[in-house]
């Protein structure tokens, strides 16, 4: 099977398995060729409470200029956290140009959880992510991010299946062709809800929550799906597969002494 050239456009964390640091080993193990364009450098994951950040927008300007001169092309691009609106506009334009050449665009609008924005994110971040969704073939917001993107109220106790479908449709109207919304409580059941634009069908996949919070699980989830899709899998099957892998890895690491580092991915790659 022909493997894909996948470009990761996301932040790079020095201490912790999140963002590009989580995605690279997964794509590599699945046999894909991996390339990176860091949106910022972060010293460690945010739950530690102290961290250093260096934005890389000026570097991206020069890197994309050189890549265009060299004629580099990718089969897929995955995007994560954007450091500024300028950066998002630049990356979105690059994605549009690549999509016109046949590149699949996957967008994870990283900006919040549990009903609120992450530290350092603001209204500008929401605008950034709407810009990114406008070029997406598939996006992966969690429930909080879907609400922020669509100006829908966040309901801590959950939503109905009808409300979930409405939320999916509102995300689609921003521009993403297919949608997966994670971390939902739908009719009192933890679920992932989505829409596959290839089949024109909605899907609802329930799961049992393990009450422990690892940073980077969303990055693992989306990477497994992207890797499977690039291998020709269907969206529904790839999503269920990724959900089962994530559940297994969280369960095996739930008693780790330092969960702020994220899941030690390399120890479990043979399960993919």
Note the pLDDT of residue 131. 92
CB 78 within 8 A of CB 223: yes
**Helix residue ranges per DSSP H, 12-56:** 19-29
3-state SS assignment for residue 136: coil
CB 31 within 8 A of CB 3: yes
Residue 228 CA, distance from chain mean position: 14
3-state SS assignment for residue 50: coil
CB 31 within 8 A of CB 269: no
Block means of pLDDT (10 residues each) for the chain, 272 residues, are 94 97 98 98 94 96 97 97 91 96 97 88 90 96 98 97 98 98 98 97 97 96 98 98 98 97 97 96
Sequence-distant (≥ 6) Cβ neighbours of residue 246 within 8 angstroms? 217, 220, 221, 224
Note the pLDDT of residue 263. 98
Note the pLDDT of residue 118. 86
Note the pLDDT of residue 122. 86
Predicted TM-score (pTM) of this structure: 0.97
Tokens of 22: 């989580």
47-78: string of b/e by CB count within 10 Å (b at 16+)?
beeebeeebbbeebeeebeebeeeeeebbbbb
């Amino acid at each position: 099977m022909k493997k894909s050239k996948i470009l990761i456009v996301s932040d790079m964390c020095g201490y912790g398995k999140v963002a590009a640091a989580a995605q690279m080993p997964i794509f590599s193990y699945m046999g894909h060729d991996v390339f990176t364009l860091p949106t910022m450098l972060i010293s460690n994951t945010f739950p530690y409470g102290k961290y250093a950040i260096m934005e890389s927008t000026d570097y991206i300007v020069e890197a994309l200029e050189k890549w265009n001169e060299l004629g580099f092309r990718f089969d897929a691009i995955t995007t994560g956290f954007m450091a500024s609106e300028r950066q998002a506009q630049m990356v979105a334009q690059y994605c549009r140009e690549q999509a016109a050449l046949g590149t699949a665009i996957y967008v994870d609008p990283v900006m919040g959880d549990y009903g609120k924005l992450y530290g350092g994110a603001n209204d500008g971040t929401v605008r950034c992510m709407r810009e990114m969704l406008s070029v997406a073939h598939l996006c992966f917001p969690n429930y909080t991010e879907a609400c922020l993107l669509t100006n829908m109220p966040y309901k801590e106790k959950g939503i109905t299946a009808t409300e979930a479908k409405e939320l999916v449709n509102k995300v689609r109207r921003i521009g993403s062709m297919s949608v997966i919304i994670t971390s939902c409580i739908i009719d009192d059941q933890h679920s992932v809800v989505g829409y596959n634009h290839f089949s024109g069908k909605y899907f609802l996949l329930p799961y049992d929550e393990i009450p422990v919070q690892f940073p980077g699980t969303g990055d693992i989830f989306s990477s497994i799906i992207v890797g499977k899709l690039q291998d020709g899998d269907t969206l529904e099957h790839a999503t269920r597969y990724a959900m089962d892998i994530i559940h297994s890895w969280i369960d095996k690491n739930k008693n780790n002494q330092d969960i702020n580092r994220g899941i030690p991915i390399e120890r479990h790659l043979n399960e993919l």
